[in-house]
Structure 1
Amino acid sequence: MQPTYSPSVRRRRLNAQLRKYREARGETTAVVAKKLGWQQTKVSKIETGERKKVTPEDLDALLNYYKVDDPEMRASLHECARLGNQRGWWSKYRDLLPSGLPDFEAEASVIKTYECQVIPGLLQTPAYAEAIFRANLVRSDEEIAKRLEGRMKRQEILNRVDPPEYWVIVDEAALRRVVGSRGVMVQQLRHLTHMAARHNINISVLPFEEGAHPATVGSFVIMEFPDPMDASIGHVETPTSSLYVEGDHELAQLNTIFAGAQGSALSPARSLAFINDVIQALEE
């Protein structure tokens, strides 16, 4: 069975800790590399994650140089290096999920998302998701089927015994836009009302009548993790690529934007009533 943890989160944790050890000594990657008899790029690529595999020997050399004597910490970092080399379930969809977003969703304890165009992927029904994929007319049936399988697999994190806390702000436009057909849309919106009943899911609607709001810049996701060694990360998707936001200042800005949008949105209870009104209008 393939692991459900995230290799990228493990690698990110390892890289960040090694960088902290080096910076605590006030040394550059060039100095560390020279002391170990390595190329300077080797140390920098380990810290940035460009080097996908960190061998036990290389890790021990770095930890010995940094004088990390705590056996529990050393064991933890070796475990990060070992698990970081393994692949989760999403590896088979890597060509269709190039952003690696499931890597981080798999271990997030809190996921916050603002979506301005469509229903968030984690809350999409199969029929709705398929209609979204078919909007790109160059995709084959085989590719669409594989994308749909991957999206449904992603949603399993919400069905875990310990699911992440999921905060969703969805623009009214995503509720009004009829995707697939009126029947597909009604089914999708009813699914939202069912998911909103879960203790870990909070859905807020940002109505048109609010006018301009802090999140007019576009859709984004913020993920937080239970381990204090794992810093929060933001994700912004564009038509051609994905951008990860990791800087403290940038993350603070994203959280401020999310909080502002949340302040402009309806409460979860009023949002549920709003969604039911949209359903009723579609069924008339």
Structure 2
Amino acid sequence: MREAAGLTATEASDRSKIPRTTLGKIETAETQKVQSGHLDRLVELYKAPYEEAEALRQLARDAGDKGWWWRYRDVFGHGALPDFETEASLIKTYEVATIPGLLQTPEYAAGIFQAGNLTASEHIDRQVEARMRRREILHRHERPPQLWAVIDEAALRRPIGSPGVLAGQLDYLARIGQNANIHIQVLPFSAGAYSGIGSPFTILEFPEPLDPTIVYTDTVTGGQFEEAPEDVEQYVVTFGHVQGTAASTVRSAQIIEGIREESTHGTDT
């Protein structure tokens, strides 16, 4: 807008009475919030159309709202995955060793966190609570995201937590897999080696065309986002291969039910 108005940064700073450094941070997105007074002066100086100016004011107001995950920043950290999951229209996730976080039961999630040994019980409870809050996007009334999960059979058979936890988790998968926006495919052992084996990741796509697709990968210290188009494309292609190798959603439901029955009998004995 400044350039369209034919102004240099120094001229815009002088006329708007906004410090040059502050103006620079606004233009390069180094500041998370824009003061309403500053915004009013800039859109007036640049002679922004009314609708565009109002859209910017609404954007500035929305920037001040913190999502629910802000209260769990000790769990998620900054630049957290839930921030992007909430905005995504399509989530594609591939898991090898565990059930995807968005599909975990509280007991199963607790079993995973307890495996760390160095985590206090109160922090485990908080981690489980935060993970359950993440699941809520799948059941919201307005535009819930489509979730496409490809899960290696190893994750379905790995016992997590106390006896019976796995059976409960598999029961939950069978039920939630019937939702229209949730699609679960199993990669059976019989598939043998396949592209992407051993490297779990999540692809997030967004409804706005200007919002690029991103990829999230788990690490020991937290998580990492991949945004470079060429890197993202490799993950998209790999997910396509993994999805094509996996059993159909109908057959996958049968596989999950069969493993659940096996785990239940194992618990009974």
1:51 is displaced (CA, Å) by 1.9
Q: In the alignment, what sits opposite 1:266?
A: 247
Q: In the alignment, what sits opposite 1:186?
A: 167
| Distance of aligned partners of 1:181 and 1:49 in 2 relative to their CA distance in 1, 3 Å threshold | farther
| Distance of aligned partners of 1:49 and 1:140 in 2 relative to their CA distance in 1, 3 Å threshold | farther
Q: In the TM superposition, what are the counterparts of 1:1-284 in structure 2 within 5 Å?
A: 33-37=9-13, 39=20, 43=24, 45-46=25-26, 49-59=29-39, 69-98=48-77, 99-162=79-142, 163-216=144-197, 218-284=199-265
- 2:201 touches 2:217 (CA, 8 Å); kept in 1? yes
Query: How far apart, in 1, do the equivalents of 2:64 and 2:219 lie?
Result: 28
What letter matches 2:197 in structure 1?
A: T
Deviates more, 1:190-199 or 1:92-101: 92-101
CA RMSD of aligned residues (A): 2.6
Query: How far apart, in 2, do the equivalents of 1:150 and 1:48 lie?
Result: 32
Q: Any idea what the Cα deviations from partners look like across 1:40-92, whole Å, max 9, x if unmatched? A: 6863x546654222223444566567x57333233222222221122111111
| Distance of aligned partners of 1:260 and 1:83 in 2 relative to their CA distance in 1, 3 Å threshold | same
Among the aligned pairs, what percent are the same residue? 41
Aligned with 1:102: secondary structure? helix
Point out where structure 2 has 5 or more consecutive residues left out of the alignment.
14-18
1:260 is displaced (CA, Å) by 1.2
Query: How far apart, in 1, do the equivalents of 2:218 and 2:262 lie?
Result: 31
Number of residue pairs aligned between Structure 1 and Structure 2? 257
- 1:36 touches 1:61 (CA, 8 Å); kept in 2? no
Query: How far apart, in 2, do the equivalents of 1:49 and 1:241 lie?
Result: 25
1:230 is displaced (CA, Å) by 2.7
Query: How far apart, in 2, do the equivalents of 1:232 and 1:68 lie?
Result: 33
What letter matches 1:92 in structure 2?
A: R
| Distance of aligned partners of 1:147 and 1:270 in 2 relative to their CA distance in 1, 3 Å threshold | same
TM-score normalised by structure 1 residue count: 0.81
| Distance of aligned partners of 1:57 and 1:167 in 2 relative to their CA distance in 1, 3 Å threshold | same
Q: Any idea what the Cα deviations from partners look like across 1:167-226, whole Å, max 9, x if unmatched? A: 101111111111013410000011001011011100011122323322226111111222
Query: How far apart, in 1, do the equivalents of 2:230 and 2:240 lie?
Result: 15
- 1:167 touches 1:201 (CA, 8 Å); kept in 2? yes
What letter matches 1:256 in structure 2?
A: V
| Distance of aligned partners of 1:96 and 1:281 in 2 relative to their CA distance in 1, 3 Å threshold | same
What letter matches 2:91 in structure 1?
A: I
Point out where structure 1 has 5 or more consecutive residues left out of the alignment.
1-20, 26-30
TM-score normalised by structure 2 residue count: 0.85
- 2:99 touches 2:156 (CA, 8 Å); kept in 1? yes
Q: In the alignment, what sits opposite 1:28?
A: none
1:233 is displaced (CA, Å) by 2.1
Largest Rg, 1 or 2: 2
